Structure 1
Amino acid sequence: MKKQLLIAGWCILLSTLGATGQVTLQHLLTENLVNPLGINVTATPRFSWQLASSQRNVQQAAWEIKVTAGKTVAWNSGKITSNQSVQVPYAGSALQPATKYSWQVRVWDTSGHVTPWSALASFQTALATPADWKAQWITPGFTEDAADRPAILYRKSFTLPKKVRTATAYLTAHGMYEAQINGKRVGDAYLTPGWTSYNKRLQYQAYDVTPLLVNGPNAIGVTVGNGWYRGYLAWSGNKNSWGSDAALLMQLVITYTDGSTKNFITDSTWRTSTGPIRYDEIYHGETVDTRLEKKGWDSTGFNDAEWSGVQTADFSKEVLVSTYNEPVKKHETFKPIKVLTTPDGKTVLDFGQNLVGWVMVKAKGNSGDSIVIKHAEVLDKYGNFYTENLRAAKATATYILDGKEERTLEPHFTFFGFRYILVEGYPGEINPDNFTAVALYSDMQPTGSFTCSQPLLNQLQHNIQWGQRGNFLDVPTDCPQRDERLGWTGDAQAFSRTATFNFGVNNFFAKWLKDVAADQKADGSVPYVIPNVLGPNAGGSTGWADVCTILPWNMYLAYGDKRILEDQYNSMKAWVGYMQTQSKNDLWQTGFHFGDWLFYRPFDDNDGKAAVTDKYLIAQCFYAHSTQLLVNAAKQLGKTEDAATYGELLQKIKAAFVKEYLTPNGRLVSGTQTAYVLALQFDMLPEALRAQAADRLVQNIKDYRNHLTTGFLGTPYLCHVLNRFGYTDIAYNLLLQETYPSWLYPVKMGATTIWERWDGQKPDSTFQTPGMNSFNHYAYGAIGDWMYRVIAGLDTYEDGPGYKHIKIQPHPGGNLTNAAATLQTYYGTVSSGWTINGTDITLDAEIPANTTADIYLPASSESTITESGIALSAQKDVQVTTTSDDQYVVIKAGSGKYHFVISARK
């Protein structure tokens, strides 16, 4: 008996030991999403998974995928020899529309071990063709109030005679919509159907509404507001950009437990009216009169006899596309940190964070009491509520009470950029507990973190991330508080690489890039804003239009997503073609350009060093850069002829630049920081003249007492260029500069987001010109890319994009004693963190399974390095490859956690 117990004990022990190193599978994604609804049927869905193991050097050797629809096998791949675990394309039988599929995967590692089958993941396909839409577009059967245009209520009662197995609602609108079934909200998305170029691409959403339905009578209620479709956009009273209607399209697909199906659709039998939302505009806010609520209107038993009918409309279904990017949702909430009485006697609440969203307010009062909430980003130098920088935007929420029970009120079809609210008309004493600010932004998953020993840099990182949160509402907006909120292309391209670190923006940008291509003109010119609401001639500016080449390439580097290159390739090629047609002898010197937008221009600069960079010099640099990226994309996509053709063009563009803008001694005709940064970043200069150009850049910085002078186009590359040419110390000086102009100046002034201008608020607490002075404008947050990739040293190689091949090369400096970055990739967690202890430095790194890394250890000799307490030369888990310039020892490593100590560091 004892012998049997002993054997059993050993078996348990061995099993436990084996389990600790066992490879398991986790985080299954379809099209970068967890169990998505509404996958495009006509595109091949792609699957991703992560390998998890406590062992080092774990690599996948093969995989097998099974996909089923119910009991039907749609794809059984068999064992496929491949190390690909990200975006593996489906290769089974044709997918059916409106169908739920399940899938699972198992893998073999390079030691020959096979994992158990993963847990099941799922995806549901969308409607495949316009013919699959049985629903009809409907519009109100009454004449709308043309001035205020109250939100439209649509309702329909129906009966379910049998038990429901599954039910999916497909919904879209001209405007914004919110839907309820039997009095319960459909989904948790806001500002739907999102913002696209509606005349070319109108998204619809799919919702699993099975839990909301009951046997017998049911009711649907949908509210439609103005939204981007017909609301005010841009300036000069522009509205109805895509139409003046507030139409609805809905299809509810029911599958009963007996296998039969039924569609409940929008058609002529629906009823319509207006309700409590009397006014809604994105810029101006919302007015809700609770006295006009129609209680129970979205539930069964409601008498809609006095409601109007609807009209059916023949709006296009050809433009309908399923939604695969993350919708806007509610996220963080904030309570007021202060209740202020301003010097001019106003009641103001401070939420402590500049955010985008709205305020939920609890209130009870007399019928007709009106609560008015106004929004602002800042207080003026005297402490008064400041809204002049909102320009024409009223940014006001108004609630008229019905005199009944206490209730919580919030807007529906608008959003605000604010830290402070001014409250008027609130019944009774202000209680901070009755006010909650809610952040709204696209439901991107947080992916990156950066921390270091300098608190101001940590606050800068906070500000960068909150600038992204506030401006990534379905499109990358430029300023979420004033009468603009447009998808400016220049801002997006400048920030895009930083954006990929902070949040998972693969789908976010893939969706927006489709609108870039849709709104691109036939001659290849790209509009200033996407979706384009500024007119057919507002396009073609260098550094803005280049979003169509820069952004796809950055997404490819960050995520390894080749489909973005495939989808955007024609757009990339068209933009380079446009620049070709605008050029003479390969030199582009025509057209309007924003140039190095909002660069620093000292008012007392009389020595000829003002930071005004020739706009055509900038244009030539970006002409070359976009052509280079087109060559890169062509090579990745196997378009060898294009790669050769545009490679030749690139050499001509650079030769024309040298002839026009460079003196024989290597001086640029514009001696600005931006001119030298762009020329060096994009390799516009002959190699022999680059070092002296970098010297000139450094001298310019020193002439400005270690301050930057760059604007939107030069800033993203400034510190990268300095680091590349051996001036990391100068880059640190710029980053850590605390006086204007600098990244830390706004931090010292109390900013909680990134400012549009280097001096949005001046040292004397007065403001820059209110005509253009946003305090939440992410472009200058592009420095985050340098912090992550250079300070912490966390990067990816082009030969293994998406962190399949990882580069870790930290650059200690700036009197920092530690810095660390962590990133959630499709393969898992990758991290790099260093700490200085006297003359020693430690480097901790984590490499996910199924990837490899080159790790640069800041040491002159491997003899000074240990890993996990073992001399590097004796550590079998890593391979020393080279010593780089007597500054780094370079090793190759597979997955695992590593702890390096470099002793007696110089």
Structure 2
Amino acid sequence: MSGLKIQDLFVESRKYPLGVDAHKPSFGWSFQETRRRGAGQSAYRIIVTTSVDNLAANVGDMWDSGVIGSARCTHVTYDGKPLRSSCRYYWKVIVWDDAHVQTESTVSWWETGLLRSEDWVGQWIQAPRDADAAATQFRHEFTLESSIVRARAFVCGLGQYELYVNGNRVGDSVLNPGWTNYDKTRLYNVFDVSTKLSHGANAIGILLANGFFHVAGGRYSKFKASFGTPKCIVQLQVEFIDGSKMTIASNGNWKCSPSPIVFSEVYGGEDYDARLEQTGWSRPGFNAVHWLNAFEENDSKAVLKSQSIPPVKVMERFSPVDITETRPGIYVVDFGQNFSGWVNVVVRGKAGEELVLTPSEVIQDGLANQRHSGSPYKWQYTLKGTEKEVWAPRFSYYGFRYVQVEGLVPSRFAGEQNGTGSMLSIEGEMIYPDIDVKGEFQSSDPMMNRVHEIINWSVLSNMKSVFTDCPHREKLGWLEQTHLLGPAVMFNYDVESLLCKVVNDIRDAQLPNGLVPSTAPEYTVFEGTYHHFRDTVAWGIAYILLPWFLNQKYGNHSILSEHYEGMKKYVEYVSDQSDNFIVTGGLGDWYDVGENPPGYAQNTPVELVETAMFYHMVEVLGQVAASLGHSADCNRYEALKQSIYAAFQKAFVHTHPFVIGTDSQTSNAIPLVLGLLSDYQQGHALKHLAADIERTGYRITAGDIGHRFVLLALANHGFSHIIQQMVQQTDEPGYGYQVIHGATTLTEAWGGPKIGNSQNHFMLGHIEEWFYRNVAGIDYYFDKKSEQFHIDVRPEPGSHLGWVRAYHTLRPGTVSIDYKEHWEDQISLKVQIPANTTAVIHIPADSRAQVLERGMPLAETEGLSFIKMEGPYAVVSVGSGEYYFTSVKHEQRRMTSERA
């Protein structure tokens, strides 16, 4: 019998990472897909060394865990000798399966960052205080006297920067570093520049722009705020073949000069004057006689941390689907897809000619309309007059589908405009993190597939170093979408490190009194009459829920203890602010659908929504406390939870006649899902909810907060057939309305793609969770007791789907389902379960006898155990392997589910 096959190794959930600054990093590994049934890990041994030779000899000179009897394969914490800064460590894992067969991984490694503040010898530098530049260039020359073995550049540039070595840009990531509260945390990036350096003269350059560090305005701006003058710190560490080392660090001897970027604002756009280029500025030998010395600043108020999230890059490119002249000298480029990013242009013309590019989501009267996405915003390029010039913005992106072109003529029209420069080509460049795709959903229903697509275009458009609400007007990290959409996003992408950063951003944003603001990083403060935009439990609850999600879905237990005190502090704040356990302020069910235009909640009492969220976060914090072994806190939160329950019942649940709140969809759905109703009340609330949706023609009226709970309430109680109707209906409001009216991303309001709405928000994409969790039937959690992931497969395709296919990759491996309907009432369900997991599979059937696995009765099938009949399902327990079930279809069967 062959043993387990190890696929990939991870340190801090990354493969071969540079710059890990965790003193006790976590290890994990995945397994290759296997058809072997019941393959599980019974023990592991991790060996960490300073050399490949030691690793081959199993000499753990840094750490040898010994043989640990455990199935855990994620978030195993390093427990060896203290790690040193900027060092490479090698490691491997040896695992034993349940039959005690041993398997050894390949060699992997990670490199540490600068683990202690004293390891930084570079100084913060900035342009002189009287310098006036939208973006500044810094440079420094140095000589290397020996052959290079290894070189790493540690760089933080605030707000955003690009690194150059010997005239070449280093790396292809953009918008570095990630956005944070710069007074508390600043992220640095680590680059391998070994092949960029050479024996002899070398030069290093930094192009530094404003980003969110310095939002000065000048065109459109959501707000104006500044953390100070843009600055950078650089430390280049070089190791030579003879074993010697050298450090090149930023200081006041570095030179600086204004760059060709003459305007750079995160909200307003970017202007570039190519006539101001200084050829060779980042190469050795450049004449910098007119450059000024950088100003050296002693700035130690924030902690420098290595950036652990995936780098943002240009990930998609779009060619125009159409270019039209809408007015004399004005051209509109249509890329056919709304996305976030910028354009890359190739132009030709005379020096001083200008190309003005105005991006927009919609066109009105032949012109770009930015009224509801942030105006004015533009990119502008001034030509230097060479044969061909290639340009793309670097530091300012927008959400758009169209670009209005002025000043130069697109090449297809060039013959009509003699004497005017030409835009030879234009390409849309979409930017988002270079993130691992972890799932896919497809079905026989085109509407479901299209809704899935437009939601994911919106998710990627709003995924940067934070989850933004929109990629144009605000670009802020509104927190409600992270916990409401988090479960859906986790099905599609590996967002563990990004969500960990969000949690850290929340910690940095938390006020001394415990309040968690609704945005993190909190770049603008909502005060006075707008205080409810800052202090709202339905947003702040993200600080409680996100760590719990990370624990449940990734097995990340350390994040609970790391943030437990801050989580407690927020609950105490809300409790103190409540009026006899009723939360009286906040936004409630923002952007619901009613008689008035969307915005403030109009269907459901704000107090009902906010108090229900208060109850939910106390319940989850009690689970966190139990997981951490804080029994006294458990008892305290249980008592608080019961007090909130009683207050909620008294304030919002009425019996003669039975009504919850205002009887809106949200009023019924939220308490149904969160356990705020008795069994008797649940039945009434469910009837009211279903009746309201059917009465309105399967239209949604819930808003930003309530929508997910409407879907969960219906799905959890066997009403997925109603959700299917909601998806299919094409009247306003609804997903189908957006699809048939040409939306290519999810729009802000249910009214869909029309002038007056943002065309690229992902806050209403909750249906994505239902696609995976209910239609495909994939759910899972990390079980702390067994130290394994447990999978629940329960497909609910409904009566109108001929097939459903989906997969999701957990930390140990990939679970997939392939459901099909066949002729003569036959159905098939193919399920792949990854190694080192357990699973329960629900096969649609009216009886155990109807189900066969590869043509054999369940009783005669190896590797599975029949548990029971549960409604319209035969339920079996399995381990890893590939399973192929057949059963009988009944047209009138309604798939039911009882998930919480």
- Indicate whether the TM-score tops 0.5: yes
How far the C-alpha of 1:351 sits from its partner, in A, is 1.0
Question: Secondary structure of the equivalent of 1:778?
Answer: coil
Distance 1:38 1:45 in 2: 14
How far the C-alpha of 1:43 sits from its partner, in A, is 3.9
Distance 1:476 1:118 in 2: 35
Query: Paired residue for 2:344, among 357, 360, 363?
Result: 360
Query: Paired residue for 1:664, among 641, 646, 655?
Result: 655
Distance 1:814 1:714, change over 3 A: farther
Work out whether residues 553 and 782 of structure 2, in 8 Å CA contact, stay in contact via their aligned partners in 1.
Answer: no
Distance 1:151 1:814, change over 3 A: farther
Distance 1:343 1:711, change over 3 A: farther
**Are 1:873 and 2:864 an aligned pair?**
no
Question: Aligned residue for 1:271?
Answer: 255
Correspondences of 1:457-856 after superposition (within 5 Å): 457-482=448-473, 484-535=474-525, 537=527, 538=531, 539-589=534-584, 591=585, 593-602=586-595, 612-665=603-656, 666-761=658-753, 767-768=755-756, 773-797=757-781, 799=783, 804-813=789-798, 815-838=800-823, 839-856=825-842
Query: Paired residue for 1:291, among 271, 275, 281?
Result: 275
**Are 1:136 and 2:123 an aligned pair?**
yes
The one-letter amino acid paired with 2:877 is K
How far the C-alpha of 1:871 sits from its partner, in A, is 2.1
Question: Aligned residue for 2:84?
Answer: 96
The one-letter amino acid paired with 2:200 is G
Distance 1:735 1:39 in 2: 44
Question: Secondary structure of the equivalent of 1:525?
Answer: coil
Work out whether residues 335 and 433 of structure 1, in 8 Å CA contact, stay in contact via their aligned partners in 2.
Answer: no
Which consecutive residues of structure 1, in runs of 5 or more, have no partner in the other structure?
1-17
Question: Secondary structure of the equivalent of 1:649?
Answer: helix
Question: Aligned residue for 1:438?
Answer: 429
Work out whether residues 774 and 794 of structure 2, in 8 Å CA contact, stay in contact via their aligned partners in 1.
Answer: yes
Distance 1:45 1:862 in 2: 44
Distance 1:306 1:722 in 2: 69
TM-score of the aligned structures, taking structure 2 as reference length? 0.93
How far the C-alpha of 1:231 sits from its partner, in A, is 1.9
Question: Aligned residue for 1:409?
Answer: 391
The C-alpha deviation readout for 1:579-637, integer Å capped at 9, x for no partner, is 11012332222x3x1111110114699xxxx9610000111111101111101111222
Distance 1:235 1:678 in 2: 42
How far the C-alpha of 1:325 sits from its partner, in A, is 1.3
Question: Secondary structure of the equivalent of 1:900?
Answer: strand
Distance 1:248 1:165, change over 3 A: same
Work out whether residues 795 and 803 of structure 1, in 8 Å CA contact, stay in contact via their aligned partners in 2.
Answer: no
Distance 1:491 1:696 in 2: 27
Question: Aligned residue for 1:39?
Answer: 20
Question: Aligned residue for 2:420?
Answer: none
Correspondences of 1:227-266 after superposition (within 5 Å): 227-232=211-216, 241-266=225-250
Question: Aligned residue for 1:78?
Answer: 66
Distance 1:54 1:663 in 2: 55
Distance 2:229 2:338 in 1: 34
Distance 1:503 1:667 in 2: 40
Distance 1:802 1:248 in 2: 43
How far the C-alpha of 1:318 sits from its partner, in A, is 4.6
Correspondences of 1:137-152 after superposition (within 5 Å): 137-141=124-128, 143-145=130-132, 149-152=133-136
How far the C-alpha of 1:642 sits from its partner, in A, is 1.1
Work out whether residues 780 and 789 of structure 2, in 8 Å CA contact, stay in contact via their aligned partners in 1.
Answer: yes
Query: Paired residue for 2:31, among 30, 35, 50?
Result: 50
Distance 1:430 1:91 in 2: 64
Distance 2:629 2:217 in 1: 42
Distance 1:240 1:94, change over 3 A: farther
Work out whether residues 344 and 384 of structure 1, in 8 Å CA contact, stay in contact via their aligned partners in 2.
Answer: no
Work out whether residues 467 and 776 of structure 1, in 8 Å CA contact, stay in contact via their aligned partners in 2.
Answer: yes
Question: Aligned residue for 2:418?
Answer: none
The one-letter amino acid paired with 1:725 is H
Work out whether residues 447 and 727 of structure 2, in 8 Å CA contact, stay in contact via their aligned partners in 1.
Answer: no
The one-letter amino acid paired with 2:347 is A
Distance 2:117 2:225 in 1: 24
How far the C-alpha of 1:276 sits from its partner, in A, is 1.1
The one-letter amino acid paired with 1:500 is M
Work out whether residues 217 and 265 of structure 2, in 8 Å CA contact, stay in contact via their aligned partners in 1.
Answer: no
How far the C-alpha of 1:22 sits from its partner, in A, is 4.7
How far the C-alpha of 1:47 sits from its partner, in A, is 3.0
How far the C-alpha of 1:808 sits from its partner, in A, is 0.4
Work out whether residues 788 and 836 of structure 2, in 8 Å CA contact, stay in contact via their aligned partners in 1.
Answer: no
Distance 1:603 1:172 in 2: 47
Stretch deviating more after TM superposition (286-295 or 33-42): 33-42
Work out whether residues 25 and 106 of structure 1, in 8 Å CA contact, stay in contact via their aligned partners in 2.
Answer: no
Work out whether residues 215 and 223 of structure 2, in 8 Å CA contact, stay in contact via their aligned partners in 1.
Answer: yes
Distance 1:65 1:621, change over 3 A: same
Distance 1:798 1:85 in 2: 11
Query: Paired residue for 1:349, among 327, 333, 351?
Result: 333
Distance 1:384 1:312 in 2: 47
Distance 2:412 2:19 in 1: 45
Question: Secondary structure of the equivalent of 1:684?
Answer: coil
Report the identity percentage.
32
Correspondences of 1:11-22 after superposition (within 5 Å): 21-22=2-3
Distance 1:540 1:172 in 2: 32
Work out whether residues 182 and 227 of structure 2, in 8 Å CA contact, stay in contact via their aligned partners in 1.
Answer: no
Which consecutive residues of structure 2, in runs of 5 or more, have no partner in the other structure?
55-60, 414-422, 894-900
How many residue pairs get aligned? The number is: 865
Distance 2:781 2:125 in 1: 52
The one-letter amino acid paired with 2:18 is L
How far the C-alpha of 1:343 sits from its partner, in A, is 6.5
How far the C-alpha of 1:229 sits from its partner, in A, is 0.2
Question: Secondary structure of the equivalent of 2:350?
Answer: coil
How far the C-alpha of 1:882 sits from its partner, in A, is 1.0
Stretch deviating more after TM superposition (846-855 or 83-92): 83-92
The C-alpha deviation readout for 1:529-556, integer Å capped at 9, x for no partner, is 1111222744221211111112222222
The C-alpha deviation readout for 1:301-333, integer Å capped at 9, x for no partner, is 111111111111011165211111112111011
Distance 1:788 1:863 in 2: 28
Question: Secondary structure of the equivalent of 1:476?
Answer: coil
The one-letter amino acid paired with 1:188 is D
Distance 1:156 1:726, change over 3 A: same
Distance 1:434 1:780 in 2: 36
Question: Aligned residue for 1:192?
Answer: 176
The one-letter amino acid paired with 1:862 is R
The C-alpha deviation readout for 1:341-398, integer Å capped at 9, x for no partner, is 3368731111111111111111121111111111011224x56432221233x33111
Question: Aligned residue for 2:880?
Answer: 895
Distance 2:853 2:340 in 1: 45
TM-score of the aligned structures, taking structure 1 as reference length? 0.92
Distance 1:467 1:401 in 2: 34
The one-letter amino acid paired with 1:37 is L
Query: Paired residue for 2:42, among 47, 53, 61?
Result: 61
Work out whether residues 863 and 873 of structure 1, in 8 Å CA contact, stay in contact via their aligned partners in 2.
Answer: no
Distance 2:328 2:372 in 1: 19
